[in-house]
Amino acid sequence: MVSTLDDAIVTQSQRPLLGMNQSELTAWVQAQGQPAYRGKQLHQWVYDKGVRSLADITVFPKNWRQAMEKVSIGRSVIHYRSVAADETVKFLLRLDDGQIIETVGMPTEKRLTVCVSSQVGCPMACDFCATGKGGLVRNLATHEIVDQVLTVQAAFEQRVSNIVFMGMGEPLINAQNVVAAVKCLNHDIGIGQRSITISTVGIPGQIRRLAKHQLQVTLAVSLHGSNQSLRTQLIPSAQQYQLTDLLDECREYVAVTGRRVTFEYILLAGLNDSEVHAAELAQLLRGFQSHVNLIPYNPISEVDYQRPSRKRVNQFTNSLKASGIAVSVRYSRGLEKDAACGQLRASKIEP
């Protein structure tokens, strides 16, 4: 059957406009019988001005604006927000189907970093992480990822400089939409790929696949254990993924992209934070073009892990340094508002 123009309009309008690039937006306006230059205007209003409804695009003809009022741009609604003492802001965003996700905005003097979610919930069930306790609800669509950045940008009235995929979810299970979102954030919002970090627990084959996209993003891999059995104890999915295989894929990522990999390592008192573990970790990563990011554990209510003392954290850091490993410590922000690493969950807070 030959599809009519009306069919085309209906199908096109079902895909939210956010996430489309300028040529896709131009094709879309043309399909609505509008001149091509309106595509550029639409792009500007969606991405630069952050408009929420086509009805608000005042440069468009009034009749058309009204006719297109129901077309979804794809923006979420801020359901709740809390501000921590360090000015970190946690947003609970309500999506079109009523699901709630968390996004965090972290301002510093020179930067505005957004911690974005890639899924509603998470299937990985890492023992120390709040998100994993509720399981996975669904993947986020490309526009739902991009929207988080526009929402934080508008709330802070400041351009976002950095993005970390360290919110809810496992980005490499939703790689297609995450890669599309990275491209959109880069091309359409103008955030440099080198200012974007994708954090993964590691899914067999997926780091290799990501490398093929030849992005310049930073890959951060959640290691957390200095050997296979310790890692499996903390990350159930590690059972199906040998540490040696994970590191091989990371080496390929470095070879293909020319970017070094960051290894994230949560420090849990008495569990993975001893001198023996530091030595084992240094041995594991010797000669690897990488950087270790130590994250002292942020408490969650379901488990009783402990955060090591500052002294232990410093000693662990110094041991790695002494072995020639590049290392930094991340004291997460927004701790008292449950906005720090691993504390995000699909909250049911009523505003």
Q: How far is the CB of 191 from ligand SAH (least distance, A)?
A: 19
Q: Does 290 bind ligand SAH (CB under 6 A)?
A: no
Q: How far is the CB of 295 from ligand SAH (least distance, A)?
A: 4
Q: How far is the CB of 278 from ligand SAH (least distance, A)?
A: 18
| Size of residue set near ligand SAH by CB under 6 A | 17
**In the complex, residue closest to ligand SAH by CB:** 342
Which is nearest to 48 in space by CA: 164, 159, 199?
A: 159
Out of 102, 144, 170, 264, which one is annotated catalytic? Answer: 102
CA dihedral in degrees (134, 91, 293, 262; nearest 10)?
A: 90
Instruction: Report how far apart, in Å, the C-alpha atoms of 343 and of each of 63, 76, 211, 231 are.
Output: 47, 21, 29, 20
Q: Which of 150, 295, 313, 346 binds ligand SAH (CB under 6 A)?
A: 295
The window from 49-57, 104-112, 188-196, 293-301 that contacts ligand SAH (CB under 6 A) reads 293-301
Q: Does 273 bind ligand SAH (CB under 6 A)?
A: no
Contacts of 304 (CB under 8 A, 6+ apart): none
- Contacts with ligand SAH, 245-264, as mask; x by CB under 6 A: -------------------x
Residue with Cβ nearer ligand SAH (42 or 266): 266
Site residues (CB under 6 A) for ligand SAH, limited to 124-163: 126, 128-129
Asked if 51 and 73 touch (Cβ cutoff 8 Å), the reply is: yes
Q: Does 300 bind ligand SAH (CB under 6 A)?
A: yes
Q: Does 308 bind ligand SAH (CB under 6 A)?
A: no
Asked if 268 and 305 touch (Cβ cutoff 8 Å), the reply is: yes
Asked if 228 and 268 touch (Cβ cutoff 8 Å), the reply is: no
Site residues (CB under 6 A) for ligand SAH, limited to 189-208: 199-201
Q: H helices of the chain, where?
A: 5-14, 22-31, 37-43, 62-67, 130-133, 142-156, 175-187, 206-212, 228-234, 243-257, 275-285, 310-322
Site residues (CB under 6 A) for ligand SAH, limited to 23-82: none
The window from 102-110, 187-195, 242-250, 292-300 that contacts ligand SAH (CB under 6 A) reads 292-300
- Cβ atoms within 10 Å, residue 314: 12
Out of 109, 280, 341, 350, which one is annotated catalytic? Answer: 341
CA distance 37 to 31: 13
CA distance 230 to 221: 16
Has 102 been annotated as catalytic?
yes
Q: Does 338 bind ligand SAH (CB under 6 A)?
A: no
Has 250 been annotated as catalytic?
no
Q: Does 105 bind ligand SAH (CB under 6 A)?
A: no
CA distance 269 to 312: 9
Instruction: Report how far apart, in Å, the C-alpha atoms of 64 and of each of 14, 33, 47, 57 are.
Output: 17, 10, 20, 10
Asked if 220 and 264 touch (Cβ cutoff 8 Å), the reply is: yes
φ/ψ (deg, to 5) at 307:
-85, 135
Residue with Cβ nearer ligand SAH (28 or 253): 253
Give the residue numbers marked as catalytic. Answer: 102, 341
User: Which residues form the interface with ligand SAH (CB under 6 A)?
Assistant: 126, 128-129, 166, 170, 199-201, 222, 264, 266, 295, 297-298, 300, 341-342
